[in-house]
Amino acid sequence: MATVKHWSAGNVGTAELDDSGLGDKVKTRLLATVVRMYEANRRQGTVKTKTRAEVTATTRKPYKQKGTGNARRGDFKSPLLRGGGVIFGPRPRDYSYSIPRKALREALRSALLGKLRDEEVAVMDAASFERPSTGSAAKVLADLGLEGSAAIVVPDKNDIIYKSFRNIPRVSVVRASDLNTYDVLWHRSVVMVDGAWQVLTERLAGKRVKAATEEASES
């Protein structure tokens, strides 16, 4: 069991989180591999340069074939000239690739284990939020002593929590069913809303998340 800070109705105490399913070692090489995958999948891949066949220019010969002392040249599209085509320039491509699902789950376990060991995980009670309030949300982070970026993990869709934290810079609200390794590592701290840790552990154990199943059936 891991002991973390717990915020409820303005009071800060402690809570116990079951970390038995996270393993006993932070696999840094796996984390690096998964982060590279997420960053590669975010790339647009739309950069493009024109070859000499795509450059718009006159097709007349720059100068006569002989007698000038210059190298023979047939048009102004040559890659050796300013404004000409580009040799072996970047072309549009898809940088995305995938990693086995088991590896992704193991990376998420390692990321959460690292956050727990660094004491960068906290728990909060969402019942204290009766209406959206950015001031109250900022007070929660201040009471917990969290500085910098933070990921607020909710067990299911919660408009009150989302509207309360969305205007705070570098703070993101994400559902437990959507949390990934990149979200955990990018944010300095992770705040679990009551019930989110249970949903997350069930997901890491390979069980289907109830919230995600219900949403899929509704759509």
**Distant-in-sequence, close-in-space partners of 184: CB < 8 Å, separation ≥ 6:** 108, 111, 112, 115, 151, 190
**Distant-in-sequence, close-in-space partners of 10: CB < 8 Å, separation ≥ 6:** 128, 139, 143
pTM for the whole thing? Answer: 0.78
Alpha-carbon distance of 199 to 178, in angstroms, equals: 11
Predicted confidence (pLDDT) per residue in 151-190, tens digit: 999 988 888 889 989 989 999 999 998 999 999 999 999 9
Angle at 175 between CA 169 and CA 178, to 5 degrees: 105
pLDDT value at 133 more than 60: yes
Q: What is the mean pLDDT of residues 115-127?
A: 88
Predicted confidence (pLDDT) per residue in 3-60, tens digit: 888 888 778 888 888 888 888 889 999 999 999 999 999 999 999 999 999 999 988 9
pLDDT value at 214 more than 60: no
Would you state the structure tokens that stand for residue 42, as one six-digit string? 């975010």
What is the predicted pLDDT for the residue at 216? 43
Query: What are the structural domains, with CATH classification, of the chain?
Result: 2-43+97-218 (3.40.1370.10), 49-89 (no CATH)
User: At what angle are helices 196-204 and 101-117 packed, to 10 degrees?
Assistant: 140
Q: What is the mean pLDDT of residues 198-203?
A: 88
Write a three-state SS string for 99-135. CCHHHHHHHHHHHHHHHHHCCCEEEECHHHCCCCCHH
Which residue carries 């097709």 as its tokens?
59
What is the predicted pLDDT for the residue at 44? 93
Beta-carbon count within 10 A of 92 CB: 9
End-to-end distance of the chain based on CA atoms, in angstroms? 37
